[in-house]
Amino acid sequence: MEPNEEVNPRPAPFSFLHVLFASLIILLSGELLYHNFPQLRLLLWGEPTASETSLKANATRPHIVFILLDDLGWNDVSFHGYDEMRTVNIDRLAAEGVILNSFYAQYVCSPSRAALMTGKYPIRHELHHGVIQVRHRLGLDPSVKILPQLLRELGYDTHAVGKWHLGHFQTRYLPTNRGFDTFFGFYGPGIEHHNHTTGDTFDALDLWDNDRPARNYQGQHITKVLTEVAVKHISNHDPTKPMFLYFSHANLFQDVVGQSPPVDQEYYDRFPNIKHEGRRKHAATIAMIDDSVGAVMEALKRNNMLSNSIVVVMSDNGGAGEEYIIRPQFKFYSSNWPLRGAKGTQWEGGIRVATVVWSPLLEKPGRVSNELHHMCDWLPTFFRLAGGKAERLPEDLDGFDIWDSISKGTPSPRTEMFIQADPNFGDYAYRWKQYKVVHYETPSVYHPRPDQWMEPSGGLQSSMVRDTPGALRCGNVETVPCEPLVKPCLFDVVSDPCERQNVAKQFPGIVRKIMDKIRKFNESYSRVVKPPLDPRSDYSLHGDLVQPWDD
């Protein structure tokens, strides 16, 4: 499909019985009828009411609902063409909104969140080297004004639900001191899904209701808990006042040796046809996330907010499959097929992320966009939509206002993108126009790099639905070897998004040009040295809680 090619227009609404019948067919058969028969797309939220339509006509300062998924793989959503996963609600957003098929985040969690919140590449704040661990004396510089602070100055109510992961060793780093009116969630990289604990032995509680530990949710799956809080924020909101809801989900499914079952049985039972146990549990977790997205949309509808809302659903980085070995007790089952690599790498599978934008305010919905966009573009985009003037933003932002590119299908203002320059890990990557360089100076010291193309755990048990608008077309091309530890590799990721054909020999001048750009970044910033774990952060000194320790 060519960039911005339009797909089927929005279907007419169905009766409740039609919707129920279509839902049962999808649930029971496992067939991805949604993609094969666009007339069966589920209009679960109905058409706008007359009052909502009038609101849309005079829409200013829209509600912004940003749903960030943790480690979602490219191949973990059915709108990308793989019918093993069934993401009915997210698929509906994709069908009625815009699929952003060339949207980039960072390779792991904290750097992506820093880019989102600051509108700058994370190297600007020395947060590009790995993630912030629970006991690190490290965080996003509190002197930097971030997205919720900017939106609150423009009259927005601001709520953060879920994962923070931008520092908590001092109270000034906490979300409610960074522009959020409320926070319900956890400070660190991830928690056990039912006990809401973290640490090497999972004995420290990391679930907070503003400044109070949230102890009353033990035994409840974290996705259900967070969804309940997000829905409550929406339901209690005055729809005439703009709202920014940052809903950052917990880590997707992972097997943790010795811990409670990570998924609820009702979701596990939905996928009897998936024979690989880990992949089945992963599908169950994603189905729970998908239901959460549906619940948020229902809440917006009930409170007459839907017609003046912008909803973004995306991942913070690529998924982690069984090839991703970070600790022996963790097992992952995500899939980025057919992209190369995974979370923790600079390959497309680590940084090109599943992204959907839905809104009645879109001028040209029902499209797939292949325009180049980056996580740091959201801040200037949301600031403009909220009524802010561009001259009020810092001049040194790396992000661009991409709303016209998303809404109207115009070319992206972005033509290049810094990806990584980290001498500690030896990772270097940059995209200029359609070309991308990947270069590694040293073998990974963090964990083995998943550098190849990994099918889902258990293999490709289901067929790729080739006519799905969001599916990538990689073609049956001969692989031209790439040895990034020996010399930089170059790919045309527009024609070869799966990075199979290294064209460095054909275009040495382009390789030199891009490597010069990388060197400028590398020389402009000092080598990041992660602090050791602070002994004062020991959970036993703080009532077995993850909380600030250095005030």
With CA atoms as reference, report the closest residue to 6 among 72, 131, 97, 70. Answer: 97
Length of the chain in terms of residues written: 551
Q: Which single residue is written with the structure tokens 């499209």?
A: 367
CA distance linking residue 278 with residue 291, whole number of Å: 20
Residue 452 CB neighbour total at 10 angstroms: 11
Upper half-sphere CA count for residue 234 (Cβ side, 13 Å): 29
CB 194 within 8 A of CB 138: no
Amino acid sitting at position 64: I
Q: Which member of 63, 165, 221, 282 is catalytic?
A: 165
Any idea which residue has 């193309």 for tokens?
453
Burial of 454: CB neighbours in 10 Å, binned 0-12, 13-18, 19+: buried
DSSP β-ladder status, 98-100 and 427-432: unpaired
In 281-328, DSSP assigns E strands to: 309-315
Q: Where are the alpha helices (DSSP H) in 388-463?
A: 403-407
The closest of 121, 105, 166 to 141, measured between CA atoms, is 166
**DSSP-assigned letters across all residues of 315-335:** ESS----TT--SSTTEEE---
Alpha-carbon separation of residue 482 from 41, 440, 472, 516 (angstroms): 42, 11, 21, 20
CB 337 within 8 A of CB 72: no
The three-class DSSP label of residue 452 is coil
Q: Could you tell me the end-to-end alpha-carbon distance of the chain, in angstroms, rounded to an integer?
A: 54
Region of residue 285 (phi > 0: left; psi between -120 and 50: alpha; otherwise: beta): alpha
Catalytic residue list contains 109:
yes
Catalytic residue among 35, 63, 80, 109: 109
Helices and strands (DSSP H and E) totals, the chain = 13, 20
d(Cα 495, Cα 506) in Å, to the nearest integer? 15
> Rounded to whole angstroms, how far apart are CA atoms 138 and 531?
8
The single-letter DSSP state of residue 82 is B
The whole-angstrom distance between residue 531's C-alpha and the CA centroid of its chain comes to 27
Give phi and psi for 442, each to the nearest 5: -135, 155
Please indicate whether residue 18 is annotated as part of the active site.
Answer: no
- Residue numbers annotated as active site: 109, 165
